Amino acid sequence: MPHIFYLFSIFTALLSPFYLSAQTRTPLYSSQSGFIAPLDIPLVLSGNFGEFRGDHFHTGLDFKTQGKEGFPVLAVADGIVSRVKVKPWGYGHALYLKHADGTTTVYGHLSRYALPISEWLLERQYSKRSFSIDSRPATEISFSVGDTIGWSGNSGSSGGPHLHFEVRDENEKPINPLQWGFHIADSQSPKVGSLRVIPIDSQGLENRSQTREVKSGGVFEIPSGNIRLAVEANDQLDGASNVCGVYSLEVFVDGDLYSSFFIDTLDFSTNKDMNAHAYYPEWKSSRTQIHRFTPLPGNRLSIYEFTPVVQLEVVEDSTMHISVRCSDAHGNTTTKGYTLFGGSSFEQTIASSQSESVFCPAMPSTVTTLEDGGVEVVWPERSFYNRETASLQVFSNGEFFIGPEDAALAKSFRVNLNDLEGDLSKLVAVSLSEKGIRLGVEICESQGGVVSFSSRRMGRYKLVRDTIAPRLLPKFSATPLVSNGNLVFHLEDELSGVSKVEGFIDGEWVLLRWDPKMKTAVYSVTDLHHIPGVKSQITVRVEDGVGNESFWTGSVEMGK
């Protein structure tokens, strides 16, 4: 008896570090920095660090700005301007401040910059003849804590006025800013929803069409066999209805720690592996944040603290208890339990409905190639996160289907179309949903009779020629002038999209501030000196992704 007790104690001692690390863990970074808040209004988040976004984890905090633009944005600490980045998309007008401790803070979607940055930027844009700028001012510009560095806005790929705020370490890796102790009200615990039970075969091929949804409480019978698990989890903070991301998940299977992750830091070089962390079919279809417990073989994220060493198997006539503990960055915690009962084993059925398709096994480590009916698809190595079955079907109307549609990809695949006839210029590949709704457009290249394009979205495609030039006209009827004297143009392009916008006044290049989401390009009348009573010749040129162009010319009195 003493011997048994002794062995048991050793066993417990061996296991306990995992429990300890799970329960007494301190975040990688703590609120020592003394950063002040970047806005002088009550801090309410519409997005947090680590939430799922498009094809990546969100790397900062989104502070709500009461639905409007123009709040002063403050330097959170003394710092030197290390980068000014202006783009029509992404963070729009962004500022990077480097601090003495090696960290950098990033402020995105600004409406405008404070002096002297605004002056430096305008000079730079005119000398480079470019709206987009990504540069560090040659003369050092520094700000003290609390200084206004610019004003909040809605520039770039922003879904509404807010401030995107990011903290990066000395290696440019984003850090969870909620560890800096900003006063953000958060009395709400994370929401943990249903479990997803994904059957897999002995080699890890997932049968996602048979994934079961299991609710907390009760006992759920599922077919016995090997499985992977994922759970729906998200978070909300006070004062906003926005669905945010969770900070950590710890999973226990039959009482033992099975897996855990903590989103303290992220890494831009692997950030798109969010698609592999997510249960991709549902992220893709419904934007539900479902977290996998087992990282897929090709997943390079470094958020996992404890990863499973054994394959989970539901044994016939046996139960399996799964406990999920989920935390937000403010320490609110939710725990949910799920019980699985092993039923009779699942019958492996081979998909026969797609007998017109060609198939091949796809592995993360190798190049995968499929060819049929003049269509060749090439996935480079490390495209797939998991073992998959790649498929290709070419239809009689020239459309084709690339599968599996419900698998995430780490890289773009290449499609080469060989047997096309007619004019091969200005072709685009349109990705279609099952119902024929356009999901995306890829611009094709044509060389030596072969038409090619790259994409990361599998599914149905059709080729279309884009011969229609962009739409370009004054935004306001009769005249492009608005009350404050600016020139405002409306521009859009249906298929390949607007790719270039240029403006000239009396033959001289002028800055057009292009906002693709608003479909506008604006010349600010204060940029140059205009003589009252003298008309200027205005020319605007817009080009789409395949080279179709539109012009607007007119004679306008600019001075007042």
Contacts to Zn ion by CB under 5 A: 62, 164
Between residues 179 and 452, which has the closer beta carbon with respect to Zn ion? Answer: 179
Between residues 164 and 460, which has the closer beta carbon with respect to Zn ion? Answer: 164
What is the sign, positive or negative, of the torsion defined by CA atoms of 347, 350, 353, 354? Answer: positive
Distance CA 196, CA 233 (A): 11
CB of 445 to Zn ion, least distance (A): 33
CB of 58 to Zn ion, least distance (A): 6
CB of 54 to Zn ion, least distance (A): 11
Distance CA 93, CA 113 (A): 8
Between residues 128 and 287, which has the closer beta carbon with respect to Zn ion? Answer: 287
Which of 48, 463, 450, 73 lies closest to 237 in space, CA to CA?
A: 48
Q: How far is CA 111 from CA 152, 491, 492, in A?
A: 6, 20, 22
Distance CA 69, CA 422 (A): 50
Between residues 62 and 250, which has the closer beta carbon with respect to Zn ion? Answer: 62
CB of 158 to Zn ion, least distance (A): 8
Query: Looking up tokens 């989104």, which residue turns up?
Result: 62
Distance CA 346, CA 223 (A): 5
CB of 53 to Zn ion, least distance (A): 8
CB of 154 to Zn ion, least distance (A): 12
Distance CA 256, CA 52 (A): 28
Distance CA 339, CA 318 (A): 10
CB of 169 to Zn ion, least distance (A): 18
Distance CA 362, CA 381 (A): 10
CB of 529 to Zn ion, least distance (A): 38
326 φ, ψ (degrees, to nearest 5): -120, 135
Distance CA 443, CA 452 (A): 9
CB of 199 to Zn ion, least distance (A): 36
Residue nearest to Zn ion (CB): 164
CB of 80 to Zn ion, least distance (A): 23
CB of 297 to Zn ion, least distance (A): 30
H/E segment holding residue 7: helix 2-23
Contacts of 267 (CB under 8 A, 6+ apart): 173, 174, 301, 302
Structure tokens at 202: 């002995």
Between residues 58 and 460, which has the closer beta carbon with respect to Zn ion? Answer: 58
Query: Looking up tokens 């091929």, which residue turns up?
Result: 205
Between residues 79 and 245, which has the closer beta carbon with respect to Zn ion? Answer: 245
Structure tokens at 233: 């989890």
The single-letter code of the amino acid at 408 is A
Distance CA 135, CA 95 (A): 10
Between residues 107 and 461, which has the closer beta carbon with respect to Zn ion? Answer: 107
Distance CA 532, CA 549 (A): 32
CB of 265 to Zn ion, least distance (A): 17
Between residues 158 and 211, which has the closer beta carbon with respect to Zn ion? Answer: 158
Between residues 167 and 522, which has the closer beta carbon with respect to Zn ion? Answer: 167
Between residues 62 and 328, which has the closer beta carbon with respect to Zn ion? Answer: 62
Contacts of 545 (CB under 8 A, 6+ apart): 428, 441, 443, 466, 493, 495, 496, 497, 499
Q: Are 260 and 238 in contact (CB under 8 A)?
A: no
The single-letter code of the amino acid at 21 is S
The β-bridge relationship of strands 219-223 and 333-343 is: parallel
CB of 59 to Zn ion, least distance (A): 8
Query: What's the burial of 391, exposed, middle or buried (CB within 10 Å: 0-12/13-18/19+)?
Result: buried
Q: Are 451 and 445 in contact (CB under 8 A)?
A: yes
Distance CA 493, CA 453 (A): 20
| Furthest CA-CA distance within the chain | 105
CB of 87 to Zn ion, least distance (A): 14
| Alpha helices (H) along 43-163 | 117-128
Between residues 56 and 456, which has the closer beta carbon with respect to Zn ion? Answer: 56
The upper half-sphere exposure of residue 9, i.e. CA atoms within 13 Å in the direction of its Cβ, equals 6
The strand pairing partners of 191, in sequence order, are: 234
Between residues 62 and 442, which has the closer beta carbon with respect to Zn ion? Answer: 62
The strand pairing partners of 222, in sequence order, are: 342
Between residues 166 and 328, which has the closer beta carbon with respect to Zn ion? Answer: 166
Between residues 62 and 206, which has the closer beta carbon with respect to Zn ion? Answer: 62
